[in-house]
Structure 1
Amino acid sequence: MKLSFLLALPTTLLTLLTPTLASPEYNEHLHLIPLSNEYLYAGFNFTSTTSQSAYRANNYRYFPRSLGQILQYSRASELHLRFALGRWDEETWGARPRHGRREGGTGVELWAWIDAEGGTEAVEERWSALVNSLSGLFCASLNFIDGTKTIRPVLSFDSEGTSRSTAGSKQLLLHGTLANEVVCTENLTPFLKLLPCKGKAGISSLLDGHKVFDANWQTMSIDVRPICPASDAECMIEVQQTADVVLDLERSMRPRDDPIPRPQPIAEIECDEGKHYHGGDTCYPKRKQGAKRWSLSKVFGSPVIGSCHLSERNDGEAEEKWDISLEVPSEHIVEASAMQDSLTSDDQIRLYRLSESRTQRSDLSLPHQYESGSRLRPQPALYATRQITGHGQERGGMHAVLRNPHPYAQQIIYLETLPWFLRPYMHTLKVNHRFNSTEDKSARPVDVFLEKIFYTPAIDRSRATKVEVMFTIPPESTVELTYDFEKAVLRYTEYPPDANRGFDIAAAVIRVLGSIKGLGREGDSYIRTTSLLLPLPTPDFSMPYNVIILTSTVIALGFGSIFNLLVRRFVLVEEIPKGPLAGLVARVKVGLGKLRGGKGEWAEGAGGAGGAGGAGGAGSANRAHEDAAADGEARRAGQTGVNGRVGEGKDGLTNVERKDR
């Protein structure tokens, strides 16, 4: 008894003296919201955690090893990466999912907290290593985020993690954007490979590139942060991967092998008989009322394959964590296969848990059904638009419109990242205010002023411009923020291949402070405006090629003439040396001429055989005399002829041929 007590004593003391070790966990969840009769929101969330000691020792279980090694090498304590495509329609879809905290501007957006030890140069080297490593990991062009696309915000972003800071440690926030990046399946594949089930099981099996990137709006995010509890428990490193999409139900449910929309058979079309032109041969399709019929297998192309339940759970926790949640009215009929379902207290959200089998296929479907009333989506914290004004190739203006629909004032932080070739005139910065309604608001305050301004001017080809302002928008009013800018002239080598298209300007980031009451900084909402297209004066890129072609042509013509004068020798015809075969060639030509002439005369004599015989004899004597004379001329021509020609005249005929004629 004493021996066992002594053996167990060190273990007991070690447990009491050391902090509690946290076990790694992995959870995944899918949230579905029918936004209207035509659109469906699907929000995927995957969360992996690991202890800080295991993270530093490179001992990974659910946390992705490739991402952890990149963060350790670049000494980044917190990372936020966004891939976004499309535009969120606030007027139709309402408030943004997750309060906009897991979305970014169009393209790629990245910000991280990096260890500031070693000064600014060391931080820039670590930032460069981080963006280049992430570029290779996610098959994106993040390596183009250099100093001209990087800023250091002051107010717009706060650290989401909690850490036990040590004396002398300092973190520096860097933010970079790449508005012209096109998000595609090459970015989704590495995103899925970071998951423990690699997109082969669980709700991640629904993420098919053909469906995800056919959505009206899509965003992917990776967030890494440290979490340290208030107690002495060990700190955790958490990575959250989210993928939010808004799908067009009609377009998404088309079969992949036949995506072309085709008209329905006339027997399946319900006609609107209220039209005056309705008849036996005329049918106006009647718009269907109520919720559209859909299912997971049709919208995403396949059902949910198995499950990805990896974390060890206690018996009491098994009923608390669900894989899928569906937000529909309680009177709706929902058909679930191979799922365990439940209802929340308000009967508005239905929860489902996937089967433990790795091969079981689960599906969720809603038949077509009528609704008693239209569902109201929560109103967004703010409506924001931004556009470029002005005309011409030298100057322009920026115009941002921010509308507060709520009956209370809201404090916001407005951040813009401008390229170095767009030079704002900060003395022209103006803030105009007006109320949304036309009622008399004279009794209410209307003054809007900028509370804080952080401005960093650009350096040509080295640093971007940062404009960060804080102000308060009065209740139910609209604020317009405007300023003028100048366009710089670029070198012709700095233009992209599609220079006439323009240059992409990153989306503005708007942080609404305290939009969700009672949550502190966690209650802040984020809004991204759409990216802009800035036209710049473009040179005539074809002019150098025209000059090259013209110069080459002139040089070729001049070179040919000069070359002929240098290498050729001009002599008279009489000075050309006689060839040894000139006489032989002349005799052969004379012989051929005789043969042609003899055949022709024989034919003429045969035709006139009935004539006088004396005349024929005289003709033979004359021909013999002419042949002898021609033979002599041929010999003389062979001695004095040029290039083997037998006594040719100006008309190119020999004497024999001329006499025959």
Structure 2
Amino acid sequence: MAHLPRRTHSILLILSFQICFSTIFAVFGSVFQLEFSEELLLKPLPDRKVLAHFHFETTAPPLSTSHGRRHHHLFPKAIAQLYCLDSNAKPPGLELWAVFDVPKDQVDASWKNLTHTLSGLFCASINFLESSTTYSAHEWGFHPSSGGLRYGTLPREAVCTENLTPWLKLLPCRDKAGLSALLDRPSIYRGFYHSQRLRLTSSESHSSGVESGIVLEQALTVVLQPNSHKTSKTFLSETKLQPSWSLSSIFGRKVTGRCVLAKSSNVYLQLERGLVTELENLQKDNAITGPDHVGSGGLKDNPGFELSVRPDKEFKEANILHRKSSSVLYEYSIERYSAFEPFDLGLTWKFPVVWLCPRAPLHSSRFLMGSGNQRGTIAISFISTDLEEGFLGANIGEDSCKLQANIFQVVPWYIKVYYHTLRVFVDGQPQAIANVVEKMHVSPSEDKVLPGVMELVLKFPCAMKSAALTLEFDKGFLHIDEYPPDANQGFDIPSAVIIFPKFQTSM
């Protein structure tokens, strides 16, 4: 029986193909330099956890200006070699992320070359992303990259330190200095969520259309639970105090300075809109003030929390859709810190604060119906989160208000989905397909050759409470050598991708 993929136990690969041309052209007035920057965003979450998002960016001049000579003290050589995969090409002059009119055999060859190279680079089984399993192109959901985009998932692949170590080796200072030194393996992998990303792009000058350089972005997002033994005090309202935390308490390390090769090194603390609203209300209701001036604009002398380090700058969200409070961002520069004076940002809560984080308009989940190991039904359910904001000027009380949801689903070739059995329910009542499905693109699976692909553009009433889609399927017979390891636990189907293109929210 097919199963949903386990949370955080999958590898996702989205790649756009690249063509390297041998055309020679001149670059005039190019000021694109070799640079590296590092950033860390920290954000307390309402469920008593902390989100940490590391972002590293390395930029390099275009390969056409180096005349084949390039130093790799900053930009990783392994990634520079991926910049052009055509061994017959001369010094490359242009990189394209969208490829048009390329024969299918060339596309498959490029994909196979990419997956095998990345598999050895990141110690992952990316080479198993073959055309017969889990990759396809989006048509509507990810413009303007549609057509040249390849999407694949490995739902059974566990993300572990074997993937993080080669990822860190691409950084100039690795994990020896700078913000990356916080990435202690036990601290990272005991978290509730872990995601790492690598993105290689080529930028262009809008005025002349001349290539200005290549950009390598590396991002790591983790959600950690601070130790709450010392902050388990319960108030009269039976609300527990949020756990206080610091960098040293959640990562086990302090920041002893920036990476010496980094042009900029900053740490940010974000207080989202719902939290700011509660803190401002607490400030109005409570006359307690303290000597710690952590900022201005509503949070100055706030009795709800205390910061161990005074921020260098404060930013307030502008041009938001909401009429209420906006989110606040504190900036800390790591320039002046060293091993003798390490940076250890800490947040101490003084009173219990309860808030809600920004949410999507619908909460979606996927599950299986039926019994047995041969037939069944895939169901995707939507539950309204009762949001009244973010609908781009529409009045959710009106019958004409529609919420668009785009669904992209890939199933392995051995899952035979009967797309004509699609049924749609809104608030428990069956609906005509034409009333909800605005567009539909289906590519049936082909045995051992292609997976099945389904894309839907749905329009739900904004005032609905729940909706569901169902599709019947059969599971095909596999050869003995086609079964995955430990097949007794079942077969994993890649997660569906659901986006709300007409909905906007604010942090």
TM range (shorter): 0.7 to 0.9
The 3 A distance-change label for structure 1 pair 159 and 62 is farther
2:436 counterpart letter in structure 1? F
Q: C-alpha separation between the residues in 2 aligned to 1:174 and 1:432?
A: 31
User: 1: distance between equivalents of 2:482 and 2:46?
Assistant: 45
Shift, 1:42, TM fit: 0.9
Give the aligned partner of residue 652 of structure 1.
none
* Structure 1 residue 464 displacement after superposition: 0.7
Residue 456 in 1 paired to residue 468 in 2? no
Which whole-Å deviations, capped at 9, do the CAs of 1:151-188 have from their partners, x for residues lacking one?
A: 1221122357xxxxxxxxx9732222111100000111
2:223 aligns with one of 246, 264, 278? 246
2:140 matched to 1:152?
A: no
Residue in 2 aligned with 1:333?
306
Q: Is residue 303 of structure 2 the alignment partner of residue 323 of structure 1?
A: no
Contact 1:435 1:476 in 2 (8 A): no
How many angstroms does 1:269 deviate by? 8.7
Partners of 1:402 and 1:473 in 2: how far apart? 10
Where 2:83 maps in the other structure, the secondary structure is: helix
User: Measured at CA, do residues 55 and 122 of structure 1 come closer, stay the same or move farther in structure 2, by a change above 3 Å?
Assistant: farther
1:152-301 pair list within 5 angstroms: 152-159=137-144, 172-232=148-208, 234-250=211-227, 289-301=240-252
Change (3 A) 1:225 1:476: farther
String of CA shifts for 1:404-462, please: whole Å, max 9, x gaps: 444353222201110111001111012221289xxxxxxxx997332222211111112
| Equivalent position SS for 2:477 | coil
Q: Which amino acid aligns with 1:30?
A: L
Q: 1:21 to 1:213 in 2, by over 3 A?
A: same
Partners in 2 of 1:323 and 1:269 — Cα distance? Answer: 28
Percent sequence identity over matched residues?
Answer: 28
Counterpart in the other structure of 2:19: none
Is 1:391 aligned to residue 374 of structure 2?
A: no
Distance 1:463 1:326 in 2: 44
Q: What residue number does 1:441 align with?
A: none
Of 68, 77, 82, the residue aligned with 1:70 is: 82
User: What secondary structure does 1:424 align onto?
Assistant: strand
TM-fit CA distance, 1:388: 1.1
Task: Give the Cα–Cα distance (whole angstroms) in 1 for the partners of residues 206 and 80 of structure 2.
Answer: 24
Distance 1:31 1:69, change over 3 A: same
**Contact 1:55-1:68 within 8 A present in 2 as well:** no
Q: Partners of 2:360 and 2:416 in 1: how far apart?
A: 32
Query: What residue in structure 2 maps to residue 513 of structure 1?
Result: 501
* Contact 1:419-1:464 at 8 Å conserved across structures: yes
The letter for the 2-side match of 1:489 is: F
Q: Which of 350, 368, 385 does residue 369 from structure 1 map onto?
A: 350
Q: Which has the higher helix share?
A: 1
Does 2:440 match 1:465?
no
Task: Output the amino acid matched with 2:312.
Answer: D
What is the rounded CA distance, in whole Å, between the counterparts of 1:450 and 1:19 in structure 2?
Answer: 51
Q: Deviations over 1:236-287 (max 9, x none)?
A: 322221111111113xx8xxxxxxxxx99xxx99799x9xxxxxxxxxxx97
Shift of 1:64: 2.4
Following superposition, the deviation at residue 191 of structure 1 comes to 1.2
The SS at the match of 1:174 is strand
Higher strand fraction (1 or 2): 2
Q: Alignment partner for residue 121 of structure 1, among 76, 81, 105?
A: 105
The yes-or-no answer on 1:140 pairing with 2:128 is: no
Unaligned stretches of 5+ residues in structure 1? 1-15, 76-111, 161-169, 254-262, 275-285, 314-320, 437-444, 518-522, 526-661
CA distance in 2 between counterparts of 1:58 and 1:502 reads 51
1:355 to 335, 341, 345: 335
- The 1:389–1:349 alpha-carbon spacing in structure 2 relative to 1, beyond 3 Å, is same
Structure 2 residue 31 is matched with structure 1 residue 21: yes
C-alpha contact 2:270 2:330 (8 A) present in aligned 1: yes
Matched residue SS, 1:238: strand
Q: Please say which of residues 323-332 and 40-49 is displaced more in the overlay.
A: 323-332
**3-state SS of paired residue (2:266):** coil
Whole-Å Cα distance in 2 between the matches of residues 487 and 397 of structure 1? 11
AA paired with 1:152? A
What is the one-letter code of the residue matched to 2:480?
A: Y
Q: Aligned with 1:513: secondary structure?
A: coil
Tell me, in whole angstroms, the C-alpha distance in 1 between the residues paired with 2:239 and 2:436: 50
- 1:289-309 Cα offsets, whole Å, 9 max, x none, are 322121110110111131126
Q: What is the SS of the residue equivalent to 1:69?
A: helix
> Does 2:254 correspond to 1:303?
yes
Worse-superposed segment, 121-130 or 322-331: 322-331
- Alpha-carbon distance, 1:380 to partner: 2.1
2:323 corresponding residue in structure 1: none
Letter in 2 for 1:230: H
Q: Partners of 2:234 and 2:345 in 1: how far apart?
A: 30
Q: Residue 356 of structure 1: CA displacement?
A: 4.2
| Corresponding residue of 1:421 | 414
What letter is aligned with 2:424? V
Instruction: Mark the CA change 1:55 to 1:203 in structure 2 (over 3 Å): closer, same or farther.
Output: farther
Q: Is 1:433 matched with 2:384?
A: no
Q: What is the Cα deviation at residue 206 of structure 1?
A: 1.0
Distance 1:510 1:270 in 2: 40
1:326-379 superposed Cα distances (whole Å, 9 cap, x missing partner): 43753221102xx863333478332111134553521111234214x4233222
Pairwise CA RMSD: 3.4
Asked if the contact 1:74–1:129 (Cα under 8 Å) also holds between the matched residues in 2, the reply is no
CA contact (8 A) 2:423 2:433 kept: no
Distance in 2 separating the partners of 1:335 and 1:347: 20
Secondary structure at the counterpart of residue 376 of structure 2: strand
Secondary structure of the residue that 1:462 maps to in structure 2? coil
CA contact (8 A) 1:24 1:311 kept: no
Amino acid at match of 1:141: S
Distance across 1 between alignment mates of 2:129 and 2:337: 44
